[in-house]
Amino acid sequence: MPRPDHRLAARAGGQPAPRGAADQDRLKPVLSVEGLSLAFGGTVAFAEIDLAVGAGEIHAVIGPNGAGKSSLINAITGLYAPGAGCVRIGEAAFARVPAGRLAALGVARTFQNLALFAGLSVRDNVLSGLAAARRAGLWPQILGLPAARREARAHRDAAETVIGRLGLAAVADRPAGSLPYGLQKRVELGRALVARPGLLLLDEPMAGMTATEKAEMSGFIRAAREDSGAAIVLIEHDIGVVMRLSDRVTVLDHGRRIATGTPAEVQADPAVIAAYLGLADADADAMAA
């Protein structure tokens, strides 16, 4: 398996930069969710969710299966229409975020299930993350006019940089669908990172990975935060990874927010402990660690 760039791998075992309460107060939220609610017919996915994520913050959203985590990400990105509440991205406020404007708003995401172009190369998959950033029109591209060539070269350079940092250079020309699952997850992350978003939403980026792959992916996520200062919302089931990687954690249970705080605060919260009592012993131990 290709190895990641040594600069990123060296960070994989590091810890998030400490952030005190005063620092958090000075961070202007990149993302604010205010009283957001969503229901499918008579089934409530989540209700009255408040969430704020500042620049450079890794904010995890966790909870038992069915807690509403992925539905929340889908509502934030406009795939679902909330029944109530507001989503603020920077200075813009939306009852429903226009999904077609996510790139213009500086937002990128990954999906719980892989959403790659399996028959395209790794390079072309990463380049597709810049599709919304193209400024040259169709004819300038067809005619190879100077502005179109400069833009294409800049996009290729950006893609190559991300491919190198994620340890994908050796497989850049291979079809993405031919790669092992863990590498495909890296490709999807690369496609999200290439446009240098200000807000990055990661829906279970480590699902199905080995412990080694999770450690590498954690390093890539930290490095993305350090490189761009992006606000990152992370959904992840591995509680140990969440507690090591995140600056703050929000816990959902049955569609309700039951806790928000630092990893240490959340681990000690009685409501969180009660919500996780039914989990496997390994997860219960991770919460108590």
Predicted pLDDT of residue 119: 95
Structure confidence at residue 28 as a pLDDT band (50, 70, 90) = confident
Domain assignment present for residue 182? The answer is yes
Predicted pLDDT of residue 143: 61
CATH no. for residue 60?
Answer: 3.40.50.300
Convert the pLDDT of each residue in 69-113 to its tens digit. Answer: 999 999 999 999 999 999 999 999 999 999 999 999 999 999 988
**Do you know the residue count of the chain?**
289
Q: Within this chain, do residues 28 and 164 fall inside the same structural domain, yes or no?
A: no
Predicted pLDDT of residue 283: 52
Predicted pLDDT of residue 9: 40
Structure confidence at residue 286 as a pLDDT band (50, 70, 90) = low
Q: Within this chain, do residues 204 and 102 fall inside the same structural domain, yes or no?
A: yes
Q: Tokens standing for 225? A: 């935060």
Convert the pLDDT of each residue in 147-170 to its tens digit. Answer: 767 777 888 999 999 999 999 999
Q: Is the pLDDT score of 193 beyond 80?
A: yes
Q: Tokens standing for 287? A: 């919460």
Structure confidence at residue 67 as a pLDDT band (50, 70, 90) = confident
Domain assignment present for residue 231? The answer is yes
pTM for this prediction: 0.81
Domain assignment present for residue 111? The answer is no
Predicted pLDDT of residue 46: 96
Mean pLDDT rounded to a whole number for the chain? 85
Q: Within this chain, do residues 150 and 185 fall inside the same structural domain, yes or no?
A: yes
Q: Within this chain, do residues 152 and 218 fall inside the same structural domain, yes or no?
A: no
* Mean of pLDDT values over 107-120: 92
Give the lowest-confidence range in 16-25, 124-133, 146-155, 201-210. Answer: 16-25
Q: How far apart are CA 71 and CA 59, in angstroms?
A: 16
Q: Within this chain, do residues 127 and 263 fall inside the same structural domain, yes or no?
A: no
Convert the pLDDT of each residue in 200-219 to its tens digit. Answer: 999 999 988 999 999 999 99
Q: Which domain holds residue 175?
A: 116-196
Domain boundary among 196, 216, 231: 196
Domain boundary among 196, 220, 244: 196
Q: Is the pLDDT score of 132 beyond 80?
A: no
Q: For the CA atoms of 123, 234, 75, 176, what is the dihedral angle to 10 degrees? A: 20
Block residue for tokens 């890794």: 58
* Mean of pLDDT values over 20-35: 71
Question: Structural domain tally of the chain?
Answer: 2
Give the type of residue at 44. Answer: V
Block residue for tokens 């969180």: 272
Q: Is the pLDDT score of 59 beyond 80?
A: yes
Q: Within this chain, do residues 285 and 165 fall inside the same structural domain, yes or no?
A: no
Q: Within this chain, do residues 168 and 64 fall inside the same structural domain, yes or no?
A: no
Give the lowest-confidence range in 20-24, 26-30, 163-167, 257-261. Answer: 20-24
Block residue for tokens 């833009």: 151
Domain boundary among 145, 171, 196: 196
Q: How far apart are CA 104 and CA 225, in angstroms?
A: 20
Q: Within this chain, do residues 139 and 156 fall inside the same structural domain, yes or no?
A: yes
230: exposed, middle or buried (C-beta count within 10 Å: 0-12, 13-18, 19+)? Answer: buried
- Quote the percentage of the chain above a pLDDT of 90: 67
Q: How far apart are CA 86 and CA 97, in angstroms?
A: 9
Q: Within this chain, do residues 90 and 138 fall inside the same structural domain, yes or no?
A: no
Predicted pLDDT of residue 21: 46
H or E stretch covering 151: helix 146-165
Structure confidence at residue 284 as a pLDDT band (50, 70, 90) = very low
